[in-house]
Structure 1
Amino acid sequence: MTILCEGQHLFVAELSYLAPMAEVDALLEPHRAFLREQYAAGRFLASGAKVPRDGGVIIAIGTERAEIEALFRLDPFQIAGVAQYRVIEFNPTMVAQGLR
């Protein structure tokens, strides 16, 4: 099983909440629908809340940083201004056995 095809990179996106939790929670279902769409499209590998819950983390696959940043601008959290993203791109040089 390989996680990356030729030309693909991994991205770690850190979300930081900018609004009170009540505002974040009000958008949780639209945010999760966005996540489900991206998983179905094969763009996301993992996601979840940070501990403590002041944001979240998403691991994504893409070919260009600009593509991933544009994708995250479609997140209802980003659209409503309740969260901001910090995107880190990396090329794994080592992976767990079975992932390459």
Structure 2
Amino acid sequence: MKHFLLEGEHLVPFSELSDLVPLHHAFLQKGYDDGVFLFSGPQIPAHGGFLAARAESRKALDTILAEEPFVKAGKMRFSRVTEFDAAQYQPILQDWFREPSGDA
């Protein structure tokens, strides 16, 4: 499993995104429910946001991100996507960063 830090950049003022916010939140919740997202949140001020995600590959991540409602509407882009290795982390995050064993 690969891990990524993403920076989203709004291409329009945040006020123009209000009709898509419920869909955006539903997209994020699905990512949390599926175990793909670890955390997310807006920049301050709200010119974009940050997201920590995991996927089998960058291509698989891009497939997921293509369904993000702000992106689909052409109102946001992920301007920076950085793959990283979590060398250290709080013990509570062990399950999220551990490689799947396939023994389930």
TM over 0.5: yes
Structure 2 unmatched ranges of 5 or more: 95-104
Percent identity for Structure 1 against Structure 2: 32
TM-score by length of 2: 0.82
TM-fit CA distance, 1:38: 0.9
Which residue does 1:27 correspond to in 2? 20
Structure 1 residue 75: Cα displacement:
0.3
1-structure distance, mates of 2:93, 2:15: 38
Q: Which has the higher helix share?
A: 2
Q: Deviations over 1:12-40 (max 9, x none)?
A: 11110001222212211111010111111
Query: Deviation string for 1:46-92 (max 9, x for gaps)?
Result: 01111121101111111211111111110000000110002111111
In structure 2, what is the Cα distance between the partners aligned to 1:55 and 1:36?
A: 18
Matched, 1:68 2:61: yes
Provide the residue aligned with 1:87 in structure 2: 81
Q: Which residue of 2 aligns with 1:42?
A: 35
CA distance in 2, matches of 1:98, 1:52: 30
> Number of paired residues?
93
For 1:99, what is the secondary structure of its paired residue?
Answer: helix
Unaligned runs of 5+ in 1: 1-7
Instruction: Give the aligned CA root-mean-square deviation in angstroms.
Output: 1.3
Paired residues of 2:9 and 2:49 also in contact (CA < 8 A): yes
Q: Is the 8 A contact 1:69 1:87 kept in 2?
A: no
